[in-house]
């Protein structure tokens, strides 16, 4: 039975959606039906459709009492909104339905597992928010919360672990038909840890092990874990809070880490071999993956930064967008990411330049736009060059840039002149693999974002943009001579 609170949200979003014009949204990046959106939730494939649930507050463009929004898609680029799936309408989740995931049950229903937040009185007379894991089951449109919620609470966590920071379950089906999930948590030392649970039916869950421990290396609480096997390795994705940078890695404060390693099946513990940032840009958090029907593992993340969420435009009726869905693979101990191949079906109006020599400042006829797929290959001319800069989303006043210094193999994304409402951290640098000035970049521009895929997806830099979508200029600037190949496609909606 649909609660009064959920009915209210569904009626509101249906009306509020109508005042948002299509051209005011991203063309092929997912945005909320109305109001506020953060983490992707329940990213899944069910009944022939991709499903995107998301952290959602329909009534304002600021974070507030978390609901679950819901949309479906055939191609991960064009989405159809369906009614909100969850509202914080029970005692165990009245402070919010926080992040979680989704899986199909053997009987054909879809199970949602999420974090319920409720304020409870403590033995010392104080009260605090307690987080538990809860489930709801439905048909792809309507979901009913389980009568025995919560299914995981403080009785299911290791002694001394936090019942306040215990959230974001990611579920999957094992080869034997049973279920497993990982949940983020904090042990007694205040660091982060990932807990592993198992279930025969998806309803009754048992603690298995502490899968991975932070030991105060990467921030504090590890949010939004995902754990899976890919290309012969086990991958753990986490989003740490309060993370300090290390060299040019991990400078987003609330950022992302990919751990590559193996699983000790005798102890159900993850054996880490390497780690790196998932995204080297400004805006990327809480990624979640799904297995497509053809076997690809596809990842999507919230294309935003908790430190810069105040830069939104108050007149807009929506806030928050997802990254491009990315096909992921593992090569040489790294996570490679590449735009889903479905994006290539949106290409039109191809423009090609071969062996262009850029010296100083140059524009190329036909190379402009805000909904484009731009491929660049750089190399040194007769002599090495000192700097290459690509400026885009450009008009007389604003632009965003990607800058490459070949001698240091440094790449920087910079949006400080993009027209944001206030000055803050708008730059990120990363080390890239380059030899003799050679670098390959694929730059995807949408109305309000840019994603730069470096060296066939070895690294990605993502950022939201605050420039008028009519700013379509693109300029190339160099110190020294650069040889350049360019392919540009417009991307249709």
Residue boundaries of the structural domains of the chain? 4-16+26-339, 343-491
- Domains 4-16+26-339 and 343-491 are alike in CATH topology: no
Residue-level pLDDT at 249 = 76
Q: Which residues contact 401 (CB under 8 A, 6 or more apart)?
A: 389, 390, 391, 392, 412, 413, 414, 415, 417
Q: Are 350 and 488 in contact (CB under 8 A)?
A: yes
- Quick check: is 127 catalytic? no
Q: Rounded to an integer, what distance in angstroms lies between the CA atom of residue 340 and that of residue 337? A: 9
SS3 for 421?
coil
* pTM of full prediction above 0.85: yes
Please state which CATH class domain 4-16+26-339 belongs to: mainly beta
Active-site annotation holder among 39, 89, 279, 373:
39
**What CATH number should be reported for the domain whose range is 343-491?**
2.60.120.560
Residue-level pLDDT at 146 = 98
Residue-level pLDDT at 246 = 78
The tens digit of pLDDT for each residue in 437-461 reads: 999 999 999 999 999 999 999 999 9
Is the peptide bond preceding residue 404 cis, with omega within 30 degrees of 0? no
Residue-level pLDDT at 195 = 98
Containing 226, the helix (H) or strand (E) segment is strand 222-230
The tens digit of pLDDT for each residue in 278-330 reads: 999 999 999 999 999 999 999 999 999 898 887 777 778 999 999 999 999 99
Per-residue pLDDT in tens (0 to 9) along the chain, 493 residues? 789 999 999 999 999 999 999 999 999 999 999 999 999 999 999 999 999 999 999 999 999 999 999 999 999 999 999 999 999 999 999 999 999 999 999 999 999 999 999 998 777 767 889 999 999 999 999 999 999 999 999 999 999 999 999 999 999 999 999 999 999 999 999 999 999 999 999 999 999 999 999 999 999 999 999 999 999 999 999 999 988 777 777 777 788 999 999 999 999 999 999 999 999 999 999 999 999 999 999 999 999 989 888 777 777 899 999 999 999 999 999 999 999 999 999 999 999 999 999 999 999 999 999 999 999 999 997 788 999 999 999 999 999 999 999 999 999 999 988 887 666 668 899 999 998 899 999 999 999 999 999 999 999 999 999 899 999 999 999 999 999 999 999 999 8
Q: Are 53 and 39 in contact (CB under 8 A)?
A: no
Tokens 């450009």 found at: 394
């Amino acid at each position: 039975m649909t609660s009064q609170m959920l009915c209210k949200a569904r009626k509101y979003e249906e009306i509020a959606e109508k005042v948002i014009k299509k051209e005011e949204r991203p063309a092929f990046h997912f945005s909320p039906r109305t109001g506020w959106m953060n983490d992707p939730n329940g990213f899944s494939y069910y009944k022939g459709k991709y499903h995107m649930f998301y952290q959602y507050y329909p009534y304002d463009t600021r974070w507030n009492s978390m609901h679950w929004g819901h949309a479906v898609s055939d191609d991960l680029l064009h989405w159809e909104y369906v009614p909100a799936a969850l509202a914080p309408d029970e005692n165990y989740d009245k402070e919010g339905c926080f992040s979680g995931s989704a899986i199909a049950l053997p009987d054909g229903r879809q199970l949602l597992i999420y974090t319920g937040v409720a304020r409870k009185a403590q033995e010392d007379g104080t009260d605090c928010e307690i987080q538990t894991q809860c489930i709801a089951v439905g048909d792809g449109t309507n979901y009913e919360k389980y009568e025995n919620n919560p299914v995981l609470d403080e009785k299911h966590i290791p002694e001394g672990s936090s019942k306040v920071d215990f959230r974001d379950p990611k579920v999957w089906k094992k080869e034997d038909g049973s279920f497993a999930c990982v949940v983020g948590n904090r042990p007694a030392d205040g660091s982060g840890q990932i807990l592993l649970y198992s279930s025969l039916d998806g309803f009754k869950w048992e603690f298995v092990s502490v899968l991975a421990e932070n030991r105060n290396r990467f921030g504090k609480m590890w949010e939004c874990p995902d754990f899976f096997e890919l290309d012969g390795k086990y991958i753990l994705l986490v989003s740490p809070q309060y993370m300090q940078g290390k060299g040019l890695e991990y400078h987003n404060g609330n950022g992302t880490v990919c751990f590559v390693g193996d699983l000790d099946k005798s102890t159900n513990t993850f054996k880490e071999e390497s780690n790196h940032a998932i995204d080297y840009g400004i805006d990327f958090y809480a990624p979640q993956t799904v297995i497509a029907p053809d076997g690809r593992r596809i990842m999507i993340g919230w294309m935003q930064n908790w430190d810069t969420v105040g830069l939104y435009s108050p007149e807009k009726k929506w806030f928050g967008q997802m990254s491009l869905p990315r096909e992921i693979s593992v090569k040489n101990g790294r996570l490679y990411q590449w735009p889903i191949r479905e994006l290539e079906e949106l290409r039109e109006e191809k423009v090609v330049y071969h062996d262009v020599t850029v010296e100083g400042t140059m524009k190329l006829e036909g190379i402009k736009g805000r909904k484009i797929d731009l491929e660049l290959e750089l190399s040194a001319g007769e002599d090495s060059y000192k700097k290459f800069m690509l400026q885009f989303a450009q008009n007389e006043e604003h632009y965003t840039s990607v800058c490459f210094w070949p001698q240091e193999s440094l790449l920087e994304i910079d949006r400080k002149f993009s027209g944001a409402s206030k000055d803050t951290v708008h730059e990120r640098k990363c080390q890239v693999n380059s030899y003799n000035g050679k670098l390959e970049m694929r730059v995807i521009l949408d109305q309000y974002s840019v994603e730069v895929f470096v060296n066939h997806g070895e690294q990605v830099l993502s950022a939201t943009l605050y420039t008028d979508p009519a700013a379509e200029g693109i300029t190339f600037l160099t110190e020294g001579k650069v040889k350049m190949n360019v392919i540009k496609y417009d991307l249709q909606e």
